Amino acid sequence: MALSEGKYLIREPVILRKDHQTLRGRGVSTVLYLVDAANCPVVVLGSPIAAAKDPIKDVRLTDLLIDGNRANQQKEVWRLLSDGAGLYNNGVDVWGADHATVENVVCCHCRSGGMVTSAGTRRLSVRGFTAFDNQFDGLACYLTEDSDFSGLNLHHNLSAGISLDLDFNHNVIHDAVLTGNDLGVFMRQSRNNVFETLTIQESRHHGVFMAQTFAETAAGWRPCRGSECAGNSFDNILIAHCGGNAFLVNDATCTNNVICGGRFADNALVILG
């Protein structure tokens, strides 16, 4: 489907749930605007059910702007599925899709995140994505593998520019600028990812925060096995003017993470490895 220039009022999610579907605009002059009290995601790529038998393949979202109108939404959660997973009021939800593409899309003012990928997303391609002034993260990725993210401009989101957790593995993020977020990159339970040519600046707290998940037990707080960050590489990364550490590895179990060609300038705290 091709959209012309103009403002489109969204009252319920636009869901691309069939293989090979495309939603294309004419750039930032094509605006999908979430109406007051809709309390839902704007666009969903994939089939938002608890256990889809087969992933939706080759869906595309390109060349438009999404305005989540967060000041006039009353809640963050749109729907809980039968397995307890939640669909949140993000600009774009990529839900278990295979070979999906998001290109030249802007997500702003969303009640939850700008774009969230989850539910077994594979081989996703994101190019030229911008997210700002979202209630939580600009880009958040969970249960996502073998995907490529490039040309990111994630700025002034209330939480992280990028948040990675729950098996974000074997992905590449490159050519990204993250400015003025609370954290530049939050990482947990993420393995064997490649980060190339990232600029992180003016984070209110840390540039990169890497950690393992802990759970409360009868014997106290204990690390969750397999939830550490390991085997990630950072090549040509610049972190500057942040209010905390440039790069903070919070837990010693996060091992075999390598920084090559890192530059750190004028951050409030020292770098901890």
pLDDT tens-digit map of 193-211: 999 999 999 999 999 999 9
The domain segmentation of the chain, as residue ranges, is 1-152, 159-273
pLDDT at 109 over 90: yes
Q: What pLDDT was estimated at residue 85?
A: 82
What's the CATH fold of domain 1-152?
Pectate Lyase C-like (2.160.20)
Taking residues 87-113, what's their average pLDDT? 97
H-type alpha helices, the chain: none
Q: What pLDDT was estimated at residue 224?
A: 86
Q: What pLDDT was estimated at residue 50?
A: 54
Q: What pLDDT was estimated at residue 214?
A: 84
CA distances from 155 to 150, 203, 233 (A): 15, 9, 23
CB 32 within 8 A of CB 5: no
Instruction: Tell me the pLDDT tens digit for each residue of 210-241.
Output: 999 888 888 888 878 889 999 999 999 999 99
Q: What pLDDT was estimated at residue 82?
A: 77
**Selected residue with higher pLDDT from 216 and 173:** 173
Confidence of residue 271 (pLDDT cuts 50, 70, 90): low
Q: What pLDDT was estimated at residue 273?
A: 52
Confidence of residue 264 (pLDDT cuts 50, 70, 90): very high
CA atoms within 13 A on the CB side of 183: 19
Instruction: Tell me the pLDDT tens digit for each residue of 136-165.
Output: 999 999 999 999 999 999 999 999 999 999
Taking residues 102-125, what's their average pLDDT? 97
**Selected residue with higher pLDDT from 83 and 200:** 200
Is residue 51 classed as helix, strand or coil in its secondary structure?
coil
| Tokens representing residue 210 in the block | 């890497």
| CB contact burial 57-92 (16+ within 10 A = b; e otherwise) | bebbbbbbbbbbbbeebeebebeeeeeebebbbbbb
Taking residues 48-70, what's their average pLDDT? 89
DSSP symbol at 237? E
Taking residues 66-74, what's their average pLDDT? 98
